[in-house]
């Protein structure tokens, strides 16, 4: 029997790139993860028969670490509007139209643009056009933000616009919401499965109307990000994903799943954890569940090395199958031995 199933995650850029999917060796792939249901539909329409017939597929929704995003519950709407994404030709055109629409509505608006530049000529043309039409003083071009600069950007801008049509994993929009800013998201195929309709737009006029709307609720924005895409929601999603994707995986002993538990958490938590594993291995699921209930799982989940063990044990207890397989990273990969193994199309662990 095979030791481990092979899992491949298809990123939004992989869906639309020329040759990436068709040149990948799909033989032996057991599970395929997509960022959205729409992306799976695109791959199946564009590349009929490409995915192995035996491969299961699933969608892993976007997530954001809400607790790491600072915010001010008392913040109010301002005339500082942010834009985040990749600065290419299409983005440059939309940015100018948005700038013109905002300043036509109210000359106090300022548009702050941040993102990696993929087409320098178009960005220069954007700046020149703004200068020639008298809008240069309303446009602020930052380029790619350095690590740690995101918090200041989201604190400055009460609204953050995204225009990326790739969709799938709209991290900028989720970060904005977690910071208490209103996300103004250009609608893309699959966006309604991620965001409520009131945050989506298709025309620049609709985007301007959303930004000018006086109904501004930072606490609600952060709560939405936390409830749907925060750490607890992501943990539940991954647990469910493990249950569905690996329900037929080759059986392995629970001792192999939970061996070598991390030792840099509290002694009491380690003791409870070890006892829960012992009960689970012996088939005493009620005793194991009781000990797990005594653990502050959400707090321990911040320990990334322990998170995989906790999710595996929770899954085993929930399904009464303590020998349920969990995919581990091989020691030769960049991941720790107790982290789940997920490969990208280049064959490297993510």
Count of C-beta atoms within a 10 Å radius of residue 206: 15
DSSP-derived letter for residue 53 is: T
d(CA 350, CA 330): 13
Query: What pLDDT is recorded for position 188?
Result: 87
Query: What pLDDT is recorded for position 171?
Result: 86
Query: What pLDDT is recorded for position 235?
Result: 85
pLDDT, tens digit, for every residue of 230-266?
988 888 888 887 776 666 554 333 333 343 444 334 5
Query: What pLDDT is recorded for position 27?
Result: 80
Q: If you write DSSP's letter for every residue of 251-306 in order, what string do you get?
A: P--HHHHH-S--SSS-HHHHHHHHHHHHHHHTT-HHHHHHHHHTS-HHHHTTSHHH
DSSP-derived letter for residue 146 is: P
d(CA 336, CA 334): 7
Beta strands at 80-84 and 159-162: parallel, antiparallel or unpaired? parallel
Which residues does residue 31 pair with via DSSP β-bridges, in sequence order? 7, 56
Query: What pLDDT is recorded for position 153?
Result: 95
d(CA 152, CA 171): 16
Residue 234: CB partners within 8 Å, gap ≥ 6? 61, 63
Query: What pLDDT is recorded for position 240?
Result: 81
Query: What pLDDT is recorded for position 47?
Result: 87
Residue 346: CB partners within 8 Å, gap ≥ 6? none
pLDDT, tens digit, for every residue of 5-37?
678 888 887 888 778 888 888 887 878 888 888
Which residues does residue 113 pair with via DSSP β-bridges, in sequence order? 83, 141
Query: What pLDDT is recorded for position 256?
Result: 37
DSSP-derived letter for residue 309 is: H
pTM over 0.85: no
Between helix 89-105 and helix 120-132 the angle, nearest 10°, is 20
Query: What pLDDT is recorded for position 15?
Result: 86
What are the percentages of helix, strand and coil residues in the chain, rounded to 5?
A: 45, 10, 40
Query: What pLDDT is recorded for position 264?
Result: 38
Q: What residue ranges of the chain have pLDDT lower than 50?
A: 1-2, 167-168, 250-265, 297-307, 318-350
Count of C-beta atoms within a 10 Å radius of residue 257: 23
Between helix 231-245 and helix 218-229 the angle, nearest 10°, is 20
């Amino acid at each position: 029997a095979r030791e481990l199933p092979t899992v491949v995650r298809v990123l939004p850029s992989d869906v639309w790139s020329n040759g990436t999917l068709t040149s990948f060796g799909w033989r032996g792939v057991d599970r395929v993860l997509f960022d959205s249901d729409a992306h799976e539909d695109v791959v199946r329409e564009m590349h009929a028969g490409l995915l192995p017939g035996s491969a299961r597929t699933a969608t892993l929704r976007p997530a954001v670490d809400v607790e790491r995003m600072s915010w001010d519950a008392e913040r109010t709407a301002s005339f500082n509007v942010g834009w985040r994404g990749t600065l290419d030709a299409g983005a440059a055109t939309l940015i100018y139209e948005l700038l013109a629409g905002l300043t036509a509505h109210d000359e106090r608006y300022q548009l702050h643009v941040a993102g990696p530049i993929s087409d320098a000529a178009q960005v220069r043309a954007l700046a020149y056009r703004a200068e020639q039409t008298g809008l240069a003083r309303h446009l602020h071009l930052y380029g790619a933000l350095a690590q740690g600069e995101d918090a200041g950007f989201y604190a400055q801008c009460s609204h953050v616009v995204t225009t990326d049509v790739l969709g799938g994993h709209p991290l900028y929009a989720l970060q904005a919401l977690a910071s208490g800013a209103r996300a103004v998201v250009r609608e893309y195929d699959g966006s309604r499965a991620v965001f409520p309709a009131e945050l989506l737009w298709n025309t620049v006029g609709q985007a301007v109307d959303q930004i000018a709307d006086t109904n501004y609720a930072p606490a609600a924005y952060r709560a939405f990000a936390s409830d749907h895409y925060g750490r607890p929601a992501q943990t539940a999603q991954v647990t469910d994903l493990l249950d569905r994707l690996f329900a037929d995986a080759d059986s392995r002993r629970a001792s192999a799943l939970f061996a070598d538990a991390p030792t840099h958490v509290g002694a009491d938590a380690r003791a409870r954890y070890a006892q829960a594993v012992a009960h689970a291995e012996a088939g005493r699921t009620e005793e194991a569940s009781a000990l797990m209930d005594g653990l502050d799982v959400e707090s321990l989940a911040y320990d990334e090395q322990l998170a995989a063990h906790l999710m595996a044990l929770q899954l085993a207890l929930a399904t009464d199958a303590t020998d349920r397989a969990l995919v581990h990273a091989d020691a030769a990969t960049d991941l720790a031995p107790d982290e789940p193994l997920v490969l990208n199309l280049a064959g490297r662990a993510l």
